[in-house]
Structure 1
Amino acid sequence: MSRRSLRFTTLALACALAAPALAKTPKVLFIGTDGFRGDVYGTVATPNLDALVADGYLSREGLTADTAISGTGWSSLFTGVERDKHGVYDNSFSGKNYADWPDVLSRIERIAPTKNTAAALAWSPLATQLPWTGVDTVYDAGSDANVLSKALQLLGQAAGPDVLLLDFNEPDGAGHAGSYFNRDASGYTNAIRGVDASIGKLMTALRARPNYANEDWLIIVGTDHGGSIHHGHNTPEDRKTLIAFSGESVPKLGLEPLRLAPRQVDVAPSILAHLGLAIPAGLDGRPIQRPAREAAPTFGVNLLANGDAEYSVGRQDRGYDSDVPGWRKGRGGQVVEYARYTWLPAPLAGAGRNLFIGRDTGKSNTLSQRVDLRGLDLTQARFKLSADLGAASGHRARVLLRFYDLRGMASFGAGGTGHVFRGGDYYKYDIAADRVASGYPQPITTQWPGLDRFAGGARDLDAVFEAGNGKVYFFKDAQYLRYDLAAGTADPGYPLPIAGHWPGLEKFAGGARDLDAAMFVSRTKLYLFKGDQYIRYNLDSDRADAYYPAYLSESTWPGTGYWPAYWSGALNFASGKSYLFKPGEYLRYDRVLDRADAGYPAAINASNWPGLQALYAGSAFELAPAGGSGALRNYEFTGAVPKDAQWAEVEIRFEHANANGDAFADRVHLSLER
């Protein structure tokens, strides 16, 4: 080789090494699963979906629209806007406004007509009702088998689609056929396994593409609604969805929970962003295919997600019980723009475009958020709580702060005595005298022999109930203990693991441990509570009833909807009343009428619970006890953080006395300082 040729070869090699790698071609596969309830994932064997989750993340925290119906859910997924914009309220598709808010494939064809777009849809209305303007392939499949066959054909083509949307319908069909969308319904879970098998075949075909190494596939799995006994109700069961993102460019978060979880309306903008296309103004969603890991709690920052109501777009229909990102809804709550209604105030200096309102003035409603404080050294820590609060005449906005610790609160009633346990203390409550008996509290260890057998000793009990036969069951962490009330001692052989001895409690999120409360109604109706779930247990058959757990809501526990999670206590009185607690407050539930009494929640104080007023001392605060009505103004409150706090819960409560106007809140802030 000549010296000149060698120089050219060396130069060419150097240029090749210095040149950036060719960008991979972005492509999208969306796998829709009609009726796949979010919380059923993880209870059914789905190895192929699991593999996608391991290569990305899956969220079960999102909610579909309050109608919980297919037409609405699919329209939100495919258009990127909520039902008050796309106009689809039910499966008739009447009122649809796809002219202003077209499906994502129509948008792609308008922006980038050279893209190859395709949809294969088992539910025929999706093929016939959405515009799909300019879309290269729209296949009205009529069955899941035909969807899979068409998808495999398209993926087998050399060029293949740039975006392929699929709709598998059998989970929904099986749920309706068996009346239940639930892990205990075999037909429903078999249909989910069938979709998972299809996912496996799709991924095999996708990876077998001849140019796969040069393609950047974003895989999205989503669902239109959940279900319970059928679906179509504004309940957590019917509204719970799942959305998964997977692929080379997706962070590997697995099942890590995100407070600002992906929503149905985030799918369309995420598709556009992955393709490198502009996202049009006005969409309700945002690209979320590359979320950041949830930041660990720290000092000096606002610990609340979406405390300023700016994460999502303000809603246009006050009748729409939309989700509020970052917040757990209790019978209402909505984000709107300040300019939306004439009775809303002007924003204070520094505020954004949006604020929170109660929405439904027929009843009090709440937005709440729980913050994990574990891992922080809270010695001498202080909190700052602030918010902009105001209300139209007859309404009030409140902000409550509760700190939760590991001391727990457990209680039960037997005869004329209420028994209340918190930390290492035992309170004996004289029901007839309506006060704590003289000389109490006393140490649990001296008053309840045998409870010291629990790991960690006789303290920090989670839940307790008396079974109607003189036997009392105590729960702590992953153990339970049976106690003979007449003999005044724990039965031999206890404690035992809850798992394996209480069949069905393993279905709780997090498993058979860490209960919050227990309410005994009868031998066949024992209710056990954990987080936002509850299970009905039959003591005579010694197992949980089928189709549980269910969720705390206005539908399942009438009159309690403002408290959608984290109940404690359940102190039964012989009058048919049960008392449920949170730090600083309680509500009274009528077991005969099966609903909470009016006028609650109320404060735990010396008037309502003489002798128990210090039960949650230093753990419950209110931002502005005398404020929150009238003109919008900023309130601020500081105080000491309990050094043993594990979680903080902030609740915005909207109280109403008429149908005119509303209560409102903005810039809700909680931070910790040392």
Structure 2
Amino acid sequence: MPRSRLHCSSIAASILLALACAAPAMAKTPKVLFIGTDGFRGDVYGTTPTPNLDALVADGYLGREGLTADTAISGTGWSSLFTGVERDKHGVYDNSFKGKNYAAWPDVLSRVEAVAPGKRTAAALSWSPLATEIPWKADTVYNAGSDANVLSKGLELLGEAAGPDVLLLDFNQPDEAGHAGAYFNRDASGYTAAIRGIDGYIGQLTAKLRARANYANEDWLIIVGTDHGGSIHHGHNTPEDRKALIAFSGESVPKLGLEPLRLAPRQVDVAPSILAHLGLAVPAGLDGRPMHKPAREAAPAFGVNLLANADAEYSQGRIDRAYDSDVPGWRKGNGGQVVNYAQYAWLPARPSGGGANLLIGRDTSRSNTLSQRVDLRGLNLSDGAATFKFNADLGASSGHRARVFLRFYDLRGLASFSAAGIGHVFRGSDYYRYDIAADRVASGYPQSIAANWPGLEKFAGGARDIDAAFEAGNGKVYFFKDAQYLRYDLAARRADPGYPAAIAGSWPGLEKFAGGARDIEATFFFSRSKLYFFKGDQYIRYNLDSDRADSYYPGYLSDATWPGSGYWPANWSGALNFANSKSYVFKPGEYLRYDRVLDRADAGYPAAISASSWPGLQALYTGSAFELAPAGGNGALQTYALQGRVPADAQWAEVEIRFEHGNATGDAFADKLGLTIER
């Protein structure tokens, strides 16, 4: 019996359907939209409404820890963004563009045109020097002269059927507003209004992009970046001025959210990310790397090195000794730099089979540090059975020394204040009474906090683990713990009625700390109008008489803000204020002394906490601080290592490399640091 035409047609249709399912999906066309935001300080993101940028972050990730160049100026920052190399290569030190070296390190659009001339490239630039000073070899370079013109041109190009393969936009409004009001800060209304205006532009651009007729067949990488931050204007080598914002978003970008990586994206990562997304080779010698598809960072684990960029190989060696460059993964304190082993005559030869780079101190006029903090809370340490292995390759020229510190932090904190010649020190559940005249802990201490300070048991969790304290000059002491505070009457020896209370709402302005109004780490009481709170790498000045934080805070710990203390750019604790104008700041194993009259740290600090420096307090951090300390420099690079037990209550580990200098010739250096925890 002959088969029907319908039956034959259904067989043919099934075959075609099977072939269609078996065929690979048509690859989408990669395209890039870069939205540059001049002067958008990284840490201001999240403090004013930016719903359109928030939507991009939800579809990718954003980092705020990468630093622009130490000049913190537009010409330098944009050059790093567009070329993928640092200042010492592209040669742009300021807005004159004198010394520019674009011939050796061309912009990303020129690189695209050189290897893929069929791709359409375009730039619309509000700041005119970007159009006139950079020798773009692009299909379209529009010297817009205003943000409104940039937006109009961007929408026009995105509305075209073919559209650009790479579109770079530069908006200048935040920078203009920051200069007009003198401040680049969340408290400057004109500045935050400008950021909200840019966010509106982002919304219009992304809506136009998604409305493209061929959008379903396009793979758009959207990058948002900024050239510098700011404080009182900008152009200073300070964290405020150098904090940059870089965000990656799009279908192919991992959905990592806010601040997901210790090796945060940097300005120099933008150009290689554009090239890689387009499927083009990333040229050798660029300082950045593709960061549009980073792997999710692994949680802390036993048996692996917990330090990021521990061998300096994530970075490129710098060729300008004076350049205070960013060092990915490490927090800078008064400098610190990555160089090639062969960069200077006084450096050792590159080890056989080793990496190309090592870490040096850079600024020989003062001690420099590089530090990083490791979160240990994902590890089970509570049984006290875990051990650590800590190692580093260290060396120095004559007169210099490299030392490395390992510190373990727990939740016990260290809080202290002084009144009537007595220092009161609190750690964990212990209270120490320190006789300032005798310069030692009084006999019979430590004792329990609960037994000596009735009322502190009202804190959630009881009379222990006080974070910070200060005496306000009127017999009232304020204690801070987690999200609460308590006011205490020294004369009556009791907590005032109605306490504890929430810090948030009671101390206006402290909510501006990263993480909010909680977990205060230290206080300095200079006067009722100059009370300082410290948390992480930030500080806030508070006026007790007006009962609110001063405007334009938080600031950042640095040598510019706290002279002489820049080697400790984060995590101060236990500030003890003596009547002789001296304040003392502690870390596990060490302390520094700060002169409140001279407003600078005294020379010769940090120093060790010992029985001679703090008799009776030397056990505060027993088992929490360790040091790798060579005797001196002889040019050789040697491996130093130690092992020990991890405190059972450890929450974080901090590693600090300190480069100590005795002359202007040579330096101290370090490489191949390791911190592993075993069970």
Taking structure 1 as the reference length, the TM-score comes to 0.99
Taking the aligned partners of 2:671 and 2:239, their CA distance within structure 1 comes to 25
Q: Secondary structure at the match of 2:391?
A: strand
Give the superposition deviation at 1:627: 5.7
1:293-442 alignment, distance < 5 Å: 293-378=296-381, 379-442=384-447
Spell out, residue by residue over 1:506-552, the C-alpha distance to the aligned partner (whole angstroms, 9 max, x if none). Answer: 00000000000011000000000000000000000000000000000
Query: In the alignment, which residue of structure 2 is the partner of 1:654?
Result: 659
- Is 1:609–2:614 an aligned residue pair? yes
Larger deviation, residues 463-472 vs 290-299: 290-299
2:479 to 465, 474, 477: 474
Give the superposition deviation at 1:570: 1.1
Q: Secondary structure at the match of 1:445?
A: helix
Taking the aligned partners of 1:194 and 1:469, their CA distance within structure 2 comes to 47
Query: In the alignment, which residue of structure 2 is the partner of 1:229?
Result: 232
Taking the aligned partners of 1:169 and 1:429, their CA distance within structure 2 comes to 55
Query: In the alignment, which residue of structure 2 is the partner of 1:443?
Result: 448
Taking the aligned partners of 2:499 and 2:633, their CA distance within structure 1 comes to 51
Query: In the alignment, which residue of structure 1 is the partner of 2:272?
Result: 269
Give the superposition deviation at 1:4: 5.9
Kept in 2: contact 1:35–1:226 (CA 8 A):
yes
Taking the aligned partners of 1:243 and 1:156, their CA distance within structure 2 comes to 26
Query: In the alignment, which residue of structure 2 is the partner of 1:292?
Result: 295
Query: In the alignment, which residue of structure 2 is the partner of 1:525?
Result: 530
Kept in 2: contact 1:391–1:628 (CA 8 A):
yes
Give the superposition deviation at 1:9: 3.8
Q: Secondary structure at the match of 2:637?
A: strand
Spell out, residue by residue over 1:567-609, the C-alpha distance to the aligned partner (whole angstroms, 9 max, x if none). Answer: 0011011110000000000000000000000000000000100
Query: In the alignment, which residue of structure 2 is the partner of 1:556?
Result: 561
Taking the aligned partners of 2:656 and 2:662, their CA distance within structure 1 comes to 19
Give the superposition deviation at 1:629: 5.6
Taking the aligned partners of 1:347 and 1:118, their CA distance within structure 2 comes to 43
Query: In the alignment, which residue of structure 1 is the partner of 2:572?
Result: 567
Taking the aligned partners of 2:492 and 2:6, their CA distance within structure 1 comes to 105
Query: In the alignment, which residue of structure 2 is the partner of 1:57?
Result: 61
Letter of the aligned partner of 2:527 in structure 1? S
- Is 1:599–2:604 an aligned residue pair? yes
1:663 to 661, 668, 672: 668
Kept in 1: contact 2:394–2:630 (CA 8 A):
no
Taking the aligned partners of 2:603 and 2:80, their CA distance within structure 1 comes to 37
1:106 to 102, 106, 110: 110
Letter of the aligned partner of 1:659 in structure 2? A
2:81 to 67, 70, 77: 77
1:157-306 alignment, distance < 5 Å: 157-306=160-309
Kept in 2: contact 1:533–1:565 (CA 8 A):
yes
Structure 1 residue runs of 5 or longer lacking an equivalent are none
Taking the aligned partners of 2:134 and 2:259, their CA distance within structure 1 comes to 34
Q: Secondary structure at the match of 1:631?
A: coil
Spell out, residue by residue over 1:420-450, the C-alpha distance to the aligned partner (whole angstroms, 9 max, x if none). Answer: 0000000000001000000000100011110
Letter of the aligned partner of 1:73 in structure 2? G
Aligned sequence identity (%): 81
Kept in 2: contact 1:351–1:667 (CA 8 A):
no
Shift of the 2–172 alpha-carbon distance from structure 1 to 2, 3 Å rule, reads same
Larger deviation, residues 486-495 vs 230-239: 486-495
Give the superposition deviation at 1:17: 1.7
Taking the aligned partners of 2:586 and 2:504, their CA distance within structure 1 comes to 26
Kept in 1: contact 2:273–2:292 (CA 8 A):
yes
Residues matched between the structures, number: 673
- For the aligned residue pairs, the C-alpha RMSD in angstroms reads 1.0
Taking the aligned partners of 2:133 and 2:350, their CA distance within structure 1 comes to 41
Query: In the alignment, which residue of structure 1 is the partner of 2:99?
Result: 95
Spell out, residue by residue over 1:98-122, the C-alpha distance to the aligned partner (whole angstroms, 9 max, x if none). Answer: 0000000000000100000000000
Kept in 2: contact 1:27–1:163 (CA 8 A):
yes
Shift of the 311–647 alpha-carbon distance from structure 1 to 2, 3 Å rule, reads same
Give the superposition deviation at 1:349: 4.4
Q: Secondary structure at the match of 2:673?
A: strand
Q: Secondary structure at the match of 2:373?
A: strand
Larger deviation, residues 627-636 vs 369-378: 627-636
Give the superposition deviation at 1:288: 0.6
Q: Secondary structure at the match of 1:188?
A: helix
Taking the aligned partners of 1:10 and 1:472, their CA distance within structure 2 comes to 82
Letter of the aligned partner of 2:396 in structure 1? A
Give the superposition deviation at 1:630: 4.3
Taking the aligned partners of 2:123 and 2:543, their CA distance within structure 1 comes to 48
Give the superposition deviation at 1:10: 3.4
Shift of the 650–13 alpha-carbon distance from structure 1 to 2, 3 Å rule, reads same
Taking the aligned partners of 2:34 and 2:260, their CA distance within structure 1 comes to 22
Letter of the aligned partner of 2:152 in structure 1? S
Q: Secondary structure at the match of 1:282?
A: coil
Spell out, residue by residue over 1:209-233, the C-alpha distance to the aligned partner (whole angstroms, 9 max, x if none). Answer: 0000000000000000000000000
Query: In the alignment, which residue of structure 1 is the partner of 2:511?
Result: 506
Kept in 1: contact 2:346–2:635 (CA 8 A):
no
Kept in 2: contact 1:629–1:663 (CA 8 A):
no
Taking structure 2 as the reference length, the TM-score comes to 0.98
Taking the aligned partners of 1:4 and 1:444, their CA distance within structure 2 comes to 90
Taking the aligned partners of 1:199 and 1:281, their CA distance within structure 2 comes to 33
Query: In the alignment, which residue of structure 2 is the partner of 1:538?
Result: 543
- Is 1:151–2:151 an aligned residue pair? no
Q: Secondary structure at the match of 1:665?
A: strand
Give the superposition deviation at 1:560: 0.3
